[in-house]
């Protein structure tokens, strides 16, 4: 057990490199990526539990002021932003696959790994967990105007059902993790937190392999389209993160600023795969695969931006 603990702590120390390894494996091993894709729900549940285990129930609850801020951010991130994007694209006469992907990305709640990404940048993951829960809970309400504006076909009932399932998953995973933490290590040591962070990095690396199952074959079949889609994924992801970071500066939100910025650009667009017709979602798989690259490179490429507000781990 001692050797395993040391290995996991070392994994946490090099977590950003572990994420890169997952990206590379997702591209080079399409067969394995297809296998991992079959257990994505279980991986998401485990990752949520590990994030909640590290955060603990007290930090996850936050204050009433935190709840109010989370609700306002959800309104901006998941309602105002996609409506602005949809309106701009329609005004330009652009309603193709890439435009649809970016509108859906903006309408989606936070990825389940946002607390884990926040940890890897050296910041407090609790605001990310709170904002993620709020975003999932309000998704049926925020997505309705977007779907009414954008010319795609989808069932709002299916979206509500998918959102409810994800909210239940978050609730159950967090509850189990909070009970374990309260029972076995209410005040975890630095070494214990390092072990948890190592498990988190490994889970995220395996998860991304499954999400990139469509990217590997596309690189050889349509490299030009992959390049264009990848450029769009980087542009919208990083521009949203940088904009959120700049707009929340100097407002007394230093402990939450990085978590909110990470969520601004990293959204759970894959949630819509279970709620929209295959005719709409199948063309989006390439964007979803490309989107994982800036997402998982966030702790490396944007670390210089976020390092100014590092919190003690």
Q: Which residues pair with 267 in a beta bridge?
A: 110
**pLDDT tens readout for residues 270-288:** 777 766 777 777 888 899 9
Q: For residue 313, what are the CA distances in angstroms to 26, 27, 56, 188?
A: 30, 32, 14, 12
Rg (CA), the chain: 19
Which of 132-136, 155-159, 183-187, 260-264 has the highest average model confidence (pLDDT)? 260-264
Residue 311 CA to residue 313 CA, distance in Å, equals 6
| Average pLDDT along the chain | 86
| Domains of the chain from N-terminus onward | 2-309 (1.20.1530.20)
Q: Decide if 19 contacts 205 (C-beta within 8 A).
A: yes
Q: Which residue has the higher pLDDT, 14 or 234?
A: 234
Q: Decide if 114 contacts 264 (C-beta within 8 A).
A: no
Closest CA to 142 of 169, 174, 110: 110
Element (H, E) at 115: helix 114-120
CA dihedral of residues 140, 142, 49, 67 (deg, nearest 10): -120
CB neighbourhood size of 105 (10 A):
26
3-class DSSP state of 221: helix
Dihedral angle sign, alpha carbons of residues 201, 133, 243, 81 = positive
pTM of the model: 0.82
Q: Of 6-15, 22-31, 89-98, 277-286, give the lowest mean pLDDT range.
A: 277-286
Residue 71 CA to residue 3 CA, distance in Å, equals 44
When pLDDT is averaged across residues 36-58 and rounded to a whole number, the result is 83
Whole-number pLDDT of residue 253: 77
Whole-number pLDDT of residue 312: 43
Q: Which residue has the higher pLDDT, 184 or 276?
A: 184
Question: What DSSP character marks residue 160?
Answer: H
Q: Which residues pair with 103 in a beta bridge?
A: none
């Amino acid at each position: 057990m001692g050797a395993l603990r040391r290995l996991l702590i070392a994994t946490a120390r090099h977590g950003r490199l572990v994420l890169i390894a997952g990206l590379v494996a997702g591209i080079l091993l399409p067969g394995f990526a297809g296998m991992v894709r079959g257990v994505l729900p279980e991986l998401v549940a485990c990752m949520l539990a590990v994030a909640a285990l590290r955060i603990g129930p007290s930090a996850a609850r936050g204050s009433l002021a935190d709840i109010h801020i989370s609700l306002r951010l959800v309104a901006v991130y998941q309602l105002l932003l996609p409506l602005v994007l949809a309106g701009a694209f329609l005004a330009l006469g652009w309603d193709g696959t890439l435009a649809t992907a970016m509108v859906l990305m903006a309408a989606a709640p936070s990825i389940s790994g946002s607390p884990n990404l926040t940890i890897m940048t050296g910041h407090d993951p609790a605001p990310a967990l709170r904002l993620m829960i709020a975003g999932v809970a309000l998704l049926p309400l925020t997505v309705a105007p977007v779907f009414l504006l954008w010319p795609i076909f989808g069932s709002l009932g299916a979206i509500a059902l998918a959102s409810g399932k994800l909210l239940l998953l978050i609730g159950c995973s967090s509850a189990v993790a909070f009970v374990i933490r309260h029972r076995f290590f209410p005040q975890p040591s630095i070494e214990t937190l390092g072990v948890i962070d190592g498990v988190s990095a490994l889970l995220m690396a395996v998860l991304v392999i499954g999400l990139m199952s469509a990217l590997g074959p596309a690189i050889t079949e349509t490299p030009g389209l992959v390049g264009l889609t990848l450029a769009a994924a980087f542009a919208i992801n990083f521009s949203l993160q940088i904009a959120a970071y700049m707009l929340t500066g100097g407002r007394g939100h230093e402990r939450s600023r990085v978590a909110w910025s990470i969520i601004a650009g990293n959204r759970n667009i894959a949630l819509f795969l279970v709620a929209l017709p295959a005719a709409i979602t199948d063309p989006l798989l390439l964007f979803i695969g490309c989107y994982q690259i800036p997402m998982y490179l966030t702790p490396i490429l944007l670390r210089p931006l976020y390092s100014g507000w590092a919190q003690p781990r």
